[in-house]
């Protein structure tokens, strides 16, 4: 059983000492065609290189990378996703396109009924089910933890899906050519949801959630927002931090990362970070080479943000930056104990004084609030599915301490 003791002085000093990006490519052999990040499990972060089709994992926050065999020799995955104690890899392949590992990539298992001869662009989970969205085969769904899959395309008129999102219990799929589709029955049926989006703006690049709102961006840079779960959209003037276009949005818990493109004497990209659903953004580009920044998979893992330079910026590889996840006043040190991790039926909290804990909020990997307790010492988690969660402990002085936790299945 792992216990976390979060000391305010340690958190404060960590925030001061980890504000710059640094390369973390130890053990990676060939970056001549760039690198890409492939998500993480509860114990490892994964990456791949394009020059020689190699796959790697790191168990020490990127300090050292060990090569592992990809699911298919010579074919590095396009994406990775951790769900119910399994790490899933999505491939661009002329044969099987989904594999999973129960031992962090040491060995791989085929799935039944998964997509073939397509490009798996990503995975998504909602209500205990896992989805894979593809470039030409639409959406596939598994209801048994990812062992068996079947198409979930009823009503989906466009199979070129580039992004999935959810708000409350509604699923959304952004497509290239068909705009947005929505589902209110967890992917069993889909219907177009483009009211207010111009017919010329249906080539989507992103759909994402910030707070109670949805946001949509198409390939020409046009942007829309919806305040009614995508039923109606209206044109949206992007904030200045989003520049010409948003290249990538990445969420873990209530942490949002964004890579956006600007023109300042040439095209340059910047990386931003928000912990308040996009109400404000911190520019964390810092010492990254913004003129060469073409990211492949922003990822947060164990208190660090990672970004990889792709084929457009060869030789640079993977960079890492420490992320402050809550700063407590130095003159009021407090120790918070959170255990166990991994957890099953409950999470326990303890401090030197119970009054130090004001509220406990638990978010799933999509940033949805799934549990909230006021000043509790124990949170009952028996009804939650296995997976990754972010716990946010709000203290009496309104500062917040966050930690990533894993729920194990029985």
pLDDT score recorded for residue 326: 39
Provide the 10 A C-beta neighbour count for residue 51: 14
**DSSP sequence for 242-309:** GBSEEEEEEEETTEEEEEEEEESSSEEEEEEEESSTTSS-EE--TTS-GGG--BS--EEETTEEEEEB
Residue 67 pLDDT exceeds 80: yes
| Greater model confidence, 244 or 295 | 244
**Which of 53-57, 208-212, 334-338 tops mean pLDDT?**
53-57
User: Is the fold of 19-322 the same as that of 335-407?
Assistant: no
pTM over 0.85: no
Q: Which of 100-104, 138-142, 251-255 shows the lowest mean pLDDT across its residues?
A: 251-255
- 332, pLDDT greater than 80: no
| pLDDT (average), residues 298-318 | 88
Using the predicted structure, report yes or no on whether residue 328 has a pLDDT greater than 60: no
Structure token digits, residue 260: 């956006």
Mean pLDDT for the stretch of residues 172-195: 98
Point out the least confidently predicted range of 102-111, 233-242, 293-302: 293-302
Q: Rounded mean pLDDT of 41-59?
A: 94
Average pLDDT, the chain: 87
Contact 289, 303 (CB under 8 A): no
Instruction: Return the higher-pLDDT residue of 13 and 398.
Output: 398
Selection from 325, 389, 390, 400 nearest residue 356 by Cα: 400
Question: Where is pLDDT greater, at 253 or 313?
Answer: 253
pLDDT-derived band of residue 331, with 50, 70 and 90 as boundaries?
very low
Q: How confident is the model at residue 251 (pLDDT cuts 50, 70, 90)?
A: very high
For 87, counting Cβ atoms within 10 Å of its Cβ (0-12 exposed, 13-18 middle, 19+ buried), the class is buried
pLDDT at residue 17, rounded to an integer: 37
> Please, which pLDDT band fits residue 323 given cuts at 50, 70 and 90?
confident
pLDDT of 329 higher than 50: no
Domain 19-322 belongs to what topology?
Methylamine Dehydrogenase; Chain H (2.130.10)
335-407 falls under which CATH superfamily?
Macroglobulin (MG2) domain (2.60.40.1930)
Residue 18 pLDDT exceeds 50: no
Query: What is the residue extent of each domain of the chain?
Result: 19-322, 335-407
Q: What does the pLDDT read at residue 254?
A: 86
Residue 333 has pLDDT above 50, yes or no: no
Predicted pLDDT at 6: 44
Is-contact 35 296, C-beta < 8 A?
yes
């Amino acid at each position: 059983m792992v216990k976390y003791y979060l000391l305010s002085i340690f958190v404060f000093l960590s925030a001061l000492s980890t504000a710059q990006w640094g390369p973390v490519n130890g053990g990676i052999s060939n970056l001549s065609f760039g690198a890409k990040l492939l998500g993480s499990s509860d114990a490892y972060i994964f990456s791949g290189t394009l020059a020689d089709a190699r796959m790697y994992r790191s168990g020490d926050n990127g300090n050292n990378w060990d090569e592992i065999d990809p699911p298919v020799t010579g074919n590095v995955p396009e994406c990775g996703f951790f769900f119910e104690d399994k790490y899933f890899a999505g491939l661009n392949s002329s044969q099987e396109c989904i594999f999973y590992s129960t031992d962090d990539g040491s060995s791989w298992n085929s799935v039944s009924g998964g997509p073939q001869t397509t490009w798996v662009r990503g995975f998504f989970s909602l209500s205990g089910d896992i989805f894979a969205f593809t470039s030409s085969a639409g959406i596939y769904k598994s209801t048994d933890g990812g062992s068996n899959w079947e198409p979930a395309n009823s009503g989906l008129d466009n199979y070129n899906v580039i992004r999935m999102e959810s708000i409350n219990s509604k699923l959304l799929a952004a497509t290239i050519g068909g705009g947005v589709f929505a589902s209110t029955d967890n992917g069993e049926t889909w219907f177009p949801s483009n009211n207010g989006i111009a017919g010329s703006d249906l080539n989507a690049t992103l759909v994402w959630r910030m707070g109670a709102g949805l946001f949509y961006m198409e390939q020409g840079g046009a942007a829309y927002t919806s305040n009614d779960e995508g039923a109606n959209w209206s044109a949206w003037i992007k904030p200045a931090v989003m520049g010409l276009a948003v290249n990538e949005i990445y969420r873990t818990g209530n942490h949002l990362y964004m890579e956006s493109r600007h023109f300042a004497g040439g095209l340059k990209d910047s990386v931003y970070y928000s912990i308040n659903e996009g109400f404000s953004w911190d520019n964390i580009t810092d010492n990254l080479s913004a003129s060469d920044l073409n990211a492949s998979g922003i990822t947060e893992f164990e208190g660090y943000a990672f970004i990889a330079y792709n084929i457009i910026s060869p030789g640079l590889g993977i960079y890492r930056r420490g992320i402050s996840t809550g700063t407590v006043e130095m003159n009021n040190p407090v120790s918070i104990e959170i255990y166990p991790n991994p957890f099953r039926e409950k999470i326990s909290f303890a401090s030197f004084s119970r009054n130090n804990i004001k509220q406990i909020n638990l978010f799933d990997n999509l940033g949805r609030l799934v549990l909230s307790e006021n000043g509790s010492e124990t949170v009952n988690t028996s009804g939650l599915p296995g997976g990754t969660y972010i716990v946010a402990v709000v203290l009496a002085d309104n500062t917040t301490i966050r930690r990533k936790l894993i729920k194990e299945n029985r």
